[in-house]
Each structure stands twice: as structure tokens, then as C-alpha cells.
Amino acid sequence: NHIALQVADLQASAKFYGEVLQLERIEVPDNLKAIRAWFKIGTDQQIHLLAGRTQPVVNDRNGSHFAIFVASMEKAEAYLTRLKLPFHKQTRFDGVIQIYVPDPDGYLVELNEWKP
């Protein structure tokens, strides 16, 4: 039901997932508020950010990442461009357009548009 990511700066990462990706923040138990931030993805998935990362994330688009559906790739690309965030856009083998955007730690978030 969740993805857990260890992050170096909890506040910076929480700002990225909450404000940039516009994910809904979920209440964390009181005893974890200083070291955790949780966000809702869709209807039944979550991202749990865990404070304490000390090593850099080594990643590329062919390695670890997770994907989130967006309603419009055109709007997503325009939004990321407006925020001046780095991203990589490509077309997958089956024609699905993908945008990869790094979070503050370097974890890659793939954005794509569901087209059945």
C-alpha cells in the first residue's frame, strides 16, 4: 500500500511531493511527525518519506523509479517548465509518453498518461 523513500531533508522532500507534485498530505502519528511525511497517491497508495538519508541516491531512468498517472502530459510538461524543474521526456516502446523528474534526493518520479 505504500512506497517508502529515505530522504536527507524531510521538509524539502515534503514540499516537493506536496507542492510540486500536488499530492495530498496524510496525517502521521504524533510520535513520527518529526521524522516522517506521508502522501496519498490515487485512491489506495501512499508515499512515506523517512528522514535520515546520509548517502546520495544514484539513479538513472533505467533503474529505480515509480510512476504516477497524470490527466494531461501536455499540462504536466508545461507546469514543470514553468517551475523551471529539470526533467527528461521520452516516448516508450508502446507509444506512451513519459516524463522523468528527480525529487530533491534524486529519486526519479515518472509521470505518464493512462491511455487504455
Residue 16 pLDDT class (50, 70, 90 cuts): very high
Of 111, 100, 8, 104, nearest to 50 by C-alpha is 8
pLDDT of residue 56: 83
Q: Where are the domains of the chain?
A: 2-112
Of 15, 17, 40, nearest to 27 by C-alpha is 40
pLDDT of residue 116: 66
The pTM of this model reads: 0.90
At 50-105, the pLDDT tens digits run 999 998 888 776 678 899 999 999 999 999 999 999 999 999 898 899 999 999 99
Of 75, 86, 78, nearest to 16 by C-alpha is 86
- CATH superfamily of domain region 2-112: 2,3-Dihydroxybiphenyl 1,2-Dioxygenase, domain 1 (3.10.180.10)
pLDDT of residue 72: 93
pLDDT of residue 30: 93
Q: Could you please report the per-residue DSSP string of 36-82?
A: EEEEEETTTEEEEEEE---S-----TTSSEEEEE-S-HHHHHHHHHH
Average pLDDT, the chain: 92
Residue type (1 letter), 29:
P
State residue 39 phi and psi, 5-degree precision. -135, 150
pLDDT of residue 61: 66
